[in-house]
Structure 1
Amino acid sequence: MEIKYNNIKVIGFDADDTLWVNETYFREAEQEFAKLLSEFETPNKIDQELFKKEIGNLPLYGYGVKAFTLSMVESALELSNYTISNKTIQKILNIGKNMLNAPVELLDGVEEVLEKLSKKYRLILATKGDLLDQERKLEKSGLTSYFHHIEVLSDKQDTNYSKLLNHLDINPSEFLMIGNSLKSDVLPLINIKANAIHVPFHTTWAHELVTEKETNGKQYKTIKTLRDLLKIVP
């Protein structure tokens, strides 16, 4: 079944790994963290325990670098049986600080696509994570002027999107969401009768992965790069 986007009036964009590089920094941080804890456990075990800690902390800390850093500290304490040195704890904190200070690297074609689409559509940014960090990245990106509205969500469930569209008085059938995560940027939109296009990034956090069963029967397009948007959105 061919999906048409002739009725679209508003286009939403995810930020991390859709407009700029993000997950790559987390993978690098995980590797650095594993090296710091290498005397206590294997890299695979460290990675597993850190992931479990992150998921367990989501209801308290939410998403983002700060939450990730706190989970690293807690994991380090537990994996070392609370013998980790203050010096190593400081190194873990520095991993987080370096992530927060990392440059914002735009993905290929981002500004070209936003510049062209903003002439015809109302564009909004809908991302999740730490508010201060997302505001910092957006400012560094130089993309702020392209967006009519910017929303940092605590999560990206069906209800979060419904509230956002209701608040902005947007009809779901006239809304198109663009993002790299099927779980956060595509499936919730399909569930509320909106539209979504998947633009995969080369690495995805395990928490964002979905099964084939979850995507079965869902109507959405997948494109290789953001530039492909210009070929299918009229």
Structure 2
Amino acid sequence: MEVDYKNIQVIGFDADDTLWVNETYFREAEAEVGLLLSHFETPNKIDQELFKIEIKNLPTYGYGVKGFVLSMIELALDLSNGTVSNTIIEKILELGKAMINKPIELLDGVEEVLKGLSKDYKLIVATKGDLLDQERKLEKSGLLKYFHHIEVLSEKKEENYKQLLKRLDIEPESFLMVGNSLKSDILPLVKIGAQAIHVPFHTTWQHERVTQKETHGLAYKTVSSLTEILNYF
């Protein structure tokens, strides 16, 4: 299905795993907590239980490292029947602090793409996560100068995007979203009449995966790298 970008005036970018590395650090932390709790359960069972707890806690904690750390602590308490040591809890807290303090690793071509597109289009960031953490990452990234607006959303569903575009006085047909998650960055935009370009990241959280049935009949482009976007503008 063909897509046309001639009416695009504003381009939105997801942040985590679109502009910089993020999910990799969560997978590394999961492996670490699996080792810390290995005398309580198998690695596979630990992964499964952690995911269940994260999903259960999303309405309370939202997305981001802080909620992830609280879920890991809850996991440790559950698997140990409340007997987990203070030392393990401390190590889980240290994992979270290490994640928050990771240096920003920009993905290939990010600055080239933003610099090129910002000459002719208004650029915004529309991302999920913890507000303080995302503000910190944007500040450290050196990319703030390219964006007209930063929005940290509690969710990325159709209604969230509708409200954002209305607040910024952007017509859906003039908006393009770029991101790595089909579930959060692509499908909701296409369904409200905007455009979207999917830039897959090599690691995707289970919660962000979609089926072929969910994408069937929806028009969007998938590119192998961010720099390919420049071919269309």
Partner of 1:126: 126
2:75 partner amino acid:
S
Q: How far off is 1:2 after superposition?
A: 2.1
Following the alignment from structure 2 to structure 1, what is the Cα–Cα distance between the partners of residues 3 and 220? 7
1:121 partner amino acid:
Y
Partner of 1:46: 46
Partner of 1:170: 170
SS in 1 for 2:6: coil
Unaligned runs of 5+ in 2: none
Following the alignment from structure 1 to structure 2, what is the Cα–Cα distance between the partners of residues 104 and 206? 23
2:56 partner amino acid:
G
SS in 1 for 2:15: coil
Following the alignment from structure 1 to structure 2, what is the Cα–Cα distance between the partners of residues 207 and 104? 24
Partner of 1:4: 4
Q: How far off is 1:191 after superposition?
A: 1.1
Unaligned runs of 5+ in 1: none
Following the alignment from structure 1 to structure 2, what is the Cα–Cα distance between the partners of residues 222 and 181? 11
SS in 1 for 2:95: helix
The answer (yes or no) to whether the contact 2:40–2:79 under 8 Å persists in 1 is yes
SS in 1 for 2:56: helix
The answer (yes or no) to whether the contact 2:2–2:219 under 8 Å persists in 1 is no
The answer (yes or no) to whether the contact 2:10–2:123 under 8 Å persists in 1 is yes
Partner of 2:148: 148
Following the alignment from structure 1 to structure 2, what is the Cα–Cα distance between the partners of residues 117 and 139? 20
1:226 partner amino acid:
L
Partner of 2:179: 179
Partner of 1:21: 21
Partner of 1:63: 63
Q: How far off is 1:79 after superposition?
A: 0.5
Q: How far off is 1:129 after superposition?
A: 0.5
Following the alignment from structure 2 to structure 1, what is the Cα–Cα distance between the partners of residues 7 and 176? 10
Partner of 2:222: 222
What percent of counterpart residues are identical? 71
Matches within 5 A, 1:45-124: 45-124=45-124
CA deviation map 1:195-233 (0-9, x unaligned):
10100000000000001110000100000111000001x
Following the alignment from structure 1 to structure 2, what is the Cα–Cα distance between the partners of residues 10 and 106? 22
Question: What TM-score do the two structures reach when normalised by structure 2?
Answer: 0.99
SS in 1 for 2:111: helix
Q: How far off is 1:81 after superposition?
A: 1.0
Following the alignment from structure 2 to structure 1, what is the Cα–Cα distance between the partners of residues 181 and 79? 31
CA deviation map 1:37-95 (0-9, x unaligned):
00000000000000000000000000000000000000000001111000110000000
The answer (yes or no) to whether the contact 2:110–2:227 under 8 Å persists in 1 is yes
The answer (yes or no) to whether the contact 2:165–2:171 under 8 Å persists in 1 is yes
Partner of 1:195: 195
Q: How far off is 1:160 after superposition?
A: 0.5
Q: Which runs of 4+ in 1 moved over 2 A?
A: none
SS in 2 for 1:11: strand
1:141 partner amino acid:
S
Following the alignment from structure 2 to structure 1, what is the Cα–Cα distance between the partners of residues 19 and 88? 33
Question: What TM-score do the two structures reach when normalised by structure 1?
Answer: 0.99
Q: How far off is 1:126 after superposition?
A: 0.3
Following the alignment from structure 1 to structure 2, what is the Cα–Cα distance between the partners of residues 8 and 191? 16
